[in-house]
Amino acid sequence: MSEPTDTPGGAAQRKPCIACREMIAADAVLCPFCRSPQSLPARPRLRPVVKWVGGITAVVSLALGLSQVQQLVRNWHQRRAEVTRLMGAGDIEMARQDYPAAFDSYGGALKIDPANRLAQEKDEQAAMLWLENAAVQGEETFTGLVNRILPVLDKGLETARGPRAADLLAHEGWANFLRWREARGDPAVVSELLRRALQIDPANVYAHAMSGFWALWQNGSLDEARQDFQAALATRRARAYVRRLELHALFNHDSDEAARELFRVANEMRQSSENIDPGDRHRLADLFWSAHHERSRLAGLLSALGPEDRLATFLWVDAEGDLDTTTRDFVVATIRELSGDRRGALQAYRSLRPQLVRSGSSLLPQVDAAIARLNR
């Protein structure tokens, strides 16, 4: 095979073909022997591209990570701000005695921050105060109310100890009493919860007050109930609540013995300068209206107190003028007579008589008998 001639213009420069290894011109693009191209295809420059892609990916990942961190921080601040708002709302609602609203506010804070111990304690307190002041309207029921509250008390009992645990147990007893009123509970559960509360804290104010109420509700011993109420009052805690339970327990008992005890309790409240609900004051005054037509019954009611306290306590009971003038004057005259003030009683009966004559009151025979009795 002949070799290719040199190109015109000078000595030829040669190189072997990359395929057949025959010597060919140095600048040949195609081998004249095997027709093979004399340049390899350029390798794609991937390495720099990969580096750039990796760098961009790292930057994007960092940016996304920072964005997620920033979002987490924003969410944390938002959650913290919402918890603070709900706790503040609950405090305001507690101050205005809107216990159901406070219960919901503190509960909302707990949903956001379940580990918030302060929110849990305040939610428990709102639950207990709601139970103490429980009232239902329309289609509402005590059972529905109790079913909302009991899970909060149960949760509190998981960690509570000592007096706090006794407070929660006593209120669970009260909750079961409210449910039992609607024939949906077990009275034995009420008694057992109150017993357990006193076992944990023998001086627990709520367990004693609720036990006294529960005893009278079941027509139990008035002496036993009095002991529980006195033990509750001795703690000097929640005094207004204890008095309210005591008064209502005695109102519900509806007996002459309970009426005398009510007059005695009213005397204690007067001597201690305690406040009394206007509705409860009115019901105390009704005791005298119900008894004043029957001398023996009125005398029995007044016998609950000594002569030195009868008049002052009666006037305290009727401080708002719940009784009509005739009834009031008749009771005052009777108090004076039974306390040994014959002159004062005679004068009071005589002053009252003209009113009774004009009105044709059924009290006239009693007043005439009293005047005759005191004139002897």
**Residue 208 resides in a domain:** yes
Q: Are 372 and 345 in contact (CB under 8 A)?
A: no
Domain boundary among 237, 253, 269: 253
Domain that holds residue 164: 139-253
User: What does each of the 376 residues of the chain score in pLDDT, given as a tens digit?
Assistant: 444 444 444 445 888 887 788 888 877 778 888 877 877 655 555 566 666 666 677 766 766 666 676 666 666 678 889 999 999 999 999 999 999 999 999 999 999 999 999 999 999 999 999 999 999 888 899 999 999 999 999 999 999 999 999 999 999 999 999 999 988 778 999 999 999 999 999 999 999 999 999 999 999 999 999 999 999 999 999 999 999 999 999 999 989 999 999 999 999 999 999 999 999 999 999 999 999 999 999 999 999 999 999 999 999 999 999 999 999 999 999 999 999 999 999 999 999 999 999 999 999 999 999 999 999 8
Would residue 357 count as lying in a domain?
no
Which of 203, 233, 253 represents a domain boundary (last residue)? 253
- Domains of the chain: total: 2
Do 110 and 148 belong together in one domain? no
Residue 376: predicted pLDDT: 83
Same domain, 157 and 100: no
Residue 87 placed within a domain: yes
Do 113 and 192 lie in one domain? The reply is: no
If 0-12 CB within 10 Å is exposed, 13-18 middle and 19+ buried, where does residue 356 land? buried
Question: Is residue 225 domain-resident?
Answer: yes
- The whole-number pLDDT of residue 254 equals 85
**Which pLDDT value is given to residue 3?**
45
pLDDT, residue 4, reads 44
Under a CB-based contact definition with an 8 Å cutoff, are residues 127 and 149 in contact? yes
Q: Are residues 249 and 146 in the same domain?
A: yes
Integer Cα distance of 61 and 246 in angstroms: 70
Tokens of 246: 């005591």
Same domain, yes or no, for 156 and 243?
A: yes
Task: Give ∠ CA 277-279-280 in degrees, rounded to 5.
Answer: 65
In a domain, 65, yes or no: no
Q: Are residues 143 and 127 in the same domain?
A: no
188 and 249 share one domain: yes
- pLDDT at residue number 122: 97
Indicate the residue among 62, 96, 131 that finishes a domain. Answer: 131
* 17 found inside a domain: no
CATH of the domain at 231: 1.25.40
Residues 231 and 197 in one domain: yes
- On whether both 185 and 247 belong to a single domain, the answer is yes
167 and 104, same structural domain?
no
